[in-house]
Amino acid sequence: MDFQIVADSCCDLTPEIKKQWGVTTVPLTMTLDNKSYTDDETLNLPEFMTEMKNCSAKIGSASPSPLLYKEAFEAEHASFAVTLSSRLSGSYSSGNVLERGTIWKTGYWSSATIATLSGRRNKNG
C-alpha cells in the first residue's frame, strides 16, 4: 500500500473494517478517578461502562501522545490521520506536532473537517 489511514480510537471501526482498509489506530486514554484505561482492543467495554456509571470521582480522557502517532506514521511514507474534532480533543494537535521536520507525508482531517465537507457539521464541531 502506498499510504495508510491513521485514526484515533474514537473512530470506532470494527476489526474487519480496519483490516480491509488498512487502518492503524492510536488509542486515547480514559481515566476514572485515578485509574487509567487504554482505549484499544484490550479494553473490556462493558466492564469500563459499569465502572464509569458507578464512578463518583473525576472522569476524563487524554489524547494519544505524539510518540504514538510517530510510531503509526513510520509504517508507511504517506499517511492520512483522522481524529476527533480539534475543538473537542488534543488528538489532532498530537498528530500534527510531528508534521514539521519529518520524513512523512501526512494529511490531517479532524471529524469537524469531515463533517463540514460532507454537509453534516453541527454547531459543536
Pick the most confident of 47-56, 63-72, 82-91. 47-56
Domain co-membership, 39 together with 13: no
- Predicted confidence (pLDDT) at residue 56 exceeds the cutoff of 80: yes
Count how many domains the chain has: 2
- What's the pLDDT score for residue 124? 46
- Name the phi and psi angles at 65, rounded to 5: -75, 155
DSSP code of residue 91? H
482531517: which residue's cell? 109
Helix H segments across 1-125? 15-21, 45-54, 66-73, 91-96, 111-118
**8 A C-beta contact, residue 8 and residue 84:** yes
Domain co-membership, 76 together with 96: yes
Domain co-membership, 58 together with 76: no
In terms of Cβ atoms closer than 10 Å to its own Cβ (0-12, 13-18, 19+), residue 89 is buried
Query: How would residue 107 be classed by pLDDT, with cut points 50, 70 and 90?
Result: low
Predicted TM-score (pTM) of this structure: 0.68
Where is pLDDT greater, at 75 or 9?
9
Instruction: Report which of 123, 9, 26 is spatially closest to residue 70, judged by C-alpha positions.
Output: 26
Q: Which of 53-57, 100-104, 116-120 has the lowest mean pLDDT?
A: 116-120
Domain co-membership, 119 together with 101: yes
Domain that holds residue 39: 29-62
d(C-alpha 99, C-alpha 107), whole Å: 9
Domain co-membership, 101 together with 117: yes
**8 A C-beta contact, residue 104 and residue 77:** yes
- What's the pLDDT score for residue 54? 95
**8 A C-beta contact, residue 107 and residue 73:** no
